[in-house]
């Protein structure tokens, strides 16, 4: 699924922009150019988002500078959804060479900042192939992805060797998990 299929309305596109740039304010004209949407439609959407308390603004001369209102549970949840949609091509590319992929940390909760890295735990016996796919995706997306790649044996031991980290993973989002077959593998 492409992000464009899911994020269609002007409001959703603007939310997506703010979601992936949480610390950055934008001018209406700048949003219009970045998203390829008419300035009138952008201003109507910004007015609506501001009215609902999702975005805030500051008058600078004759123009308004918009920023995300934090903390905002709607925008925080949208950040998580947007992250999942952005990561979908990477997850699809890793399915045939991984057993499990977990998003954890600030991107899993929607509390990330522009300087945050994106934490993924990948269970796979194909470290090199996984690393190449992630590096390729990082170049295309511009995301600072910090993968932790464990093989199946390391994954099984993780709960006893690092219980705090294992608990952190439990609070994350499982993006992909290979079904267990009848043999248990």
Which pLDDT does position 19 carry in this prediction?
A: 87
- pLDDT of amino acid 95: 96
Structure token digits, residue 80: 């998580």
Per-residue model confidence as pLDDT tens digits over 78-131? 899 999 999 999 999 999 999 999 999 999 999 998 889 999 999 999 999 999
DSSP state of 9: S
Do residue 62 and residue 80 come from a single domain?
Answer: no
Average pLDDT value for residue range 144-148:
97
- Does a structural domain hold residue 56? yes
The answer to whether residues 35 and 106 belong to one domain is no
Q: Round to whole Å and give the CA distance between 76 and 176.
A: 22
Euclidean distance between CA atoms 143 and 141, whole angstroms: 5
132 located within any domain: yes
pLDDT > 70: percent of the chain: 94
Predicted confidence (pLDDT) at residue 143 exceeds the cutoff of 80: yes
36/39 Cα distance (integer angstroms): 9
Tell me the pLDDT of the chain averaged across its residues: 91
Q: What is the C-alpha separation between 124 and 30, in angstroms, rounded?
A: 42
Could you read off the pLDDT of 16-46 as tens digits, one per residue?
A: 899 888 889 999 999 999 999 999 999 999 9
Out of 34, 68, 102, a domain closes at 68
Q: Would 183 be classed as within a structural domain?
A: no
- Same-domain status, 88 and 158: yes
Sheet with 26-27, strands from edge to edge, namely 26-27, 63-68, 55-60
Domain C-terminal end among 11, 34, 68: 68
Tokens of 179: 């079904």
Domain boundary among 33, 68, 103: 68
49 and 135 inside one domain: no
Q: Which pLDDT score is estimated for 1? A: 47
Mean pLDDT, rounded, for 159-182? 91
Does residue 184 sit within a domain? Answer: no
Domain that holds residue 48: 3-68
| Same structural domain, 62 and 78 | no
- CATH number for the domain spanning 126: value is 3.30.460.10
85 and 172 housed in the same domain: yes
In a domain, 105, yes or no: yes
Give the chain's domain count. 2
**Pairing mode, strands 118-123 and 63-68:** unpaired
Residue 184 has pLDDT above 60, yes or no: no
């Amino acid at each position: 699924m492409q992000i464009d299929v899911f994020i269609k309305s002007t409001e959703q596109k603007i939310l997506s922009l703010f979601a992936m740039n949480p610390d950055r304010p934008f001018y209406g004209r700048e949003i219009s150019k970045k998203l390829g949407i008419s300035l009138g439609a952008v201003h109507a959407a910004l007015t609506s988002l501001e009215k609902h308390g999702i975005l805030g603004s500051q008058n600078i001369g004759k123009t308004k500078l918009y920023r995300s209102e934090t903390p905002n549970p709607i925008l925080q949840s949208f950040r998580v959804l947007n992250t999942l949609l952005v990561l979908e091509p990477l997850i699809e590319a890793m399915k045939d060479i991984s057993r499990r992929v977990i998003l954890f940390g600030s991107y899993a909760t929607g509390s990330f900042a522009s300087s945050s890295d994106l934490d993924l735990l990948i269970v796979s016996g194909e470290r090199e192939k996984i690393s190449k796919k992630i590096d390729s995706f990082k170049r295309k997306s511009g995301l600072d992805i910090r993968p932790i790649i464990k093989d199946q044996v390391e994954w099984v031991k993780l709960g006893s060797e690092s219980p705090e980290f294992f608990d952190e993973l439990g609070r994350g989002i499982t993006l992909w998990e290979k079904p267990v077959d009848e043999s248990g593998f």
